[in-house]
Structure 1
Amino acid sequence: MVVIGQPPLEDMMNRATGTPAWLDLGTTDLEGVKPFYQELFGWQFEDCGPAMSHYNMITKDGGLVGGAMDMTQCNDENDAEPRNAWDVFLAVDDVDGKLQLALDNAANLVAPAMDAGPAGRFAIVADPAGAVVAMWQAKDTEGYAFTGRPGTPIWFELVTTDLAGAIAFYTTVFDFSTAPMDDDYATNGPVEEATSGMMRSEDDTSHWQVTFAVADIEAALVRTIELGGQVVTPSVDSPWGPYATIADPTGARLLVMQASPA
């Protein structure tokens, strides 16, 4: 995992195609995991009501973080069992067109294009290596607020079993302009301006992952266990600060990082 940086909040408006715009927790126990995230990150959850299938908007100190939804009543197009996972939404200007382009380039359909009320329009696919990724065409809701503060998302990363194939797919579908850091890692855009990364998987799985800032990495790991979560990998130092992989009580994985001020 590498954290390069993100543009300031004002530059995240009108996000360019391929820029992370939204993040979404699909869970089989929304009410059960709310206390975990509330205590660990200080999040607030707002239920959007029955018209929106009780989708919850997540905020931190008034800024948008993402959303969460109970998936026990939902199946994807392939009738797969609901996943406990964080999904990443990449900005697009035409969901329907990009969805068809993704399918034409060996992606598999997870959820067809549909409206999310007045907020925007989205679709979900699995890329050719199997990583689930969503598309977001903003209307009233541009996306999450990037502040870099504890409890907020600071980095997005594709872990893939086929790095070369991923670079080709995301360049074709999401207009990525990749910059290799080494044989196993590339960023979308030059290092100084990168908004996401992609890395070669160390096992046989492909997925997107989200990193959240914390004020104290070791305290966050202790609190994770106290709240019923799991520390999947212990903290590792990096030039951008120590980070670790954790899982919430349902098993949804995420990364936490004590990011340096830089």
Structure 2
Amino acid sequence: MSRSTGTSTWLDLSITDTDVAKTFYSGLFGWEFEDLGEDFRHYHLIRNDGALVGGMMNIAGMTCPEGRPLPSEWGVYLAVDDVDARAATARAAGGMVVVEPDAISEYGRMAVVLDSTGALIGLWQAGTLEGFEFTGTPGSPVWFELMTHRFDEASAFYTEVFDAQLAPMTEEMSDPDFRYSTNGPGETASWGLCDATGVMPEDATGWRIYLGVESSDAALARVVELGGKVLDGPTPSPFGTIATIADPDGATFQISAMSEAAPEG
């Protein structure tokens, strides 16, 4: 394992229509999809100009323990050194293990937990598959963040379970009460933790992914052409123009045109 525990390392897209998802994401980002076959329940690896982005799984017909259909969504995985030990630590820290640790062939071992605030997060112990490739190019993952109403509790959980090195953001923001920390300072940061109190309703909080685009205007127009929806934005920020997107299956994500970064305020 070359990535330190707590680093964002993998993305999973859960969908109910594989063909529709392929058409949407290949049309928006130019992604290529590799079907791993029946042994892996036709799990697909996603590549962006050859570089690994994450994976895609069809969840049609699958249900939660209480019987509800599984939602279409993007999931985030953080790297761990020992998935069994970290899952046990998550449980002891007030989380719930919803997918027990399991081997995914020689690729690695995984688990999924609800953190102590109720946000879903995956754990990945690398085998032959380290994770997605950090390219920073359009069509690749460029940021991850947990939006929460329970900032202090989340800070304690991720520090305890994932050895998070949370550093308060030092940039001056227009809202003096705004709280945001990153896992690692400055350019070493791999994800963020945001106090979303007063920003969004609690049932909308959780982990979010940001995918890079060259131009926000072109990307938003393409989203609509391909059957997706623009849920929020575009919003200028010091980190690029940001918008929230829903794909045709309802899975949400953020796009970021980092070349369009604007000063705060």
Report the TM-score when normalising by structure 1.
Answer: 0.91
- TM superposition shift of 1:131: 0.9
The match for 1:220 is 219
- TM superposition shift of 1:260: 2.7
The match for 2:194 is 199
- The answer on 1:260 being equivalent to 2:240 is no
Q: 1:53 aligns with which of 37, 41, 45?
A: 41
Q: Structure 1 184/105 Cα, relative in aligned 2: closer, same or farther at 3 Å?
A: same
- TM superposition shift of 1:73: 4.0
Q: How does 1:27-176 map to 2 (within 5 A)?
A: 27-77=15-65, 79-176=67-164
Q: Give the count of matched residue pairs.
A: 250
Q: 2:181 aligns with which of 181, 186, 194?
A: 186
The match for 1:211 is 210
- CA contact 1:57–1:66 (8 Å) conserved in 2: yes
Identity of counterpart residues, as a percentage?
44
- CA contact 1:23–1:89 (8 Å) conserved in 2: yes
- TM superposition shift of 1:79: 4.6
Report the TM-score when normalising by structure 2.
Answer: 0.90
Q: Structure 1 139/78 Cα, relative in aligned 2: closer, same or farther at 3 Å?
A: farther
RMSD between superposed Cα atoms in Å = 1.6
Which SS does the other structure have where 1:238 is aligned? coil
Letter in 2 for 1:98: R
The match for 1:231 is 230
- TM superposition shift of 1:31: 2.0
Letter in 2 for 1:15: R
- CA contact 1:77–1:111 (8 Å) conserved in 2: no
User: Structure 2 stretches of 5 or more lacking a match?
Assistant: 170-176
- TM superposition shift of 1:76: 4.5
- CA contact 2:236–2:260 (8 Å) conserved in 1: no
Letter in 1 for 2:217: E
Letter in 2 for 1:170: Y
- The answer on 1:242 being equivalent to 2:241 is yes
Which SS does the other structure have where 1:32 is aligned? helix
Letter in 2 for 1:203: P
Which SS does the other structure have where 2:258 is aligned? coil
Which SS does the other structure have where 1:150 is aligned? coil
Q: Which moved more, 1:226-235 or 1:192-201?
A: 192-201
Aligned partners of 1:127, 1:251: CA distance in 2, in Å? 23
Letter in 2 for 1:252: A
Q: Structure 1 76/117 Cα, relative in aligned 2: closer, same or farther at 3 Å?
A: farther
Letter in 2 for 1:146: F
Aligned partners of 2:41, 2:249: CA distance in 1, in Å? 20
User: Structure 1 stretches of 5 or more lacking a match?
Assistant: 1-12
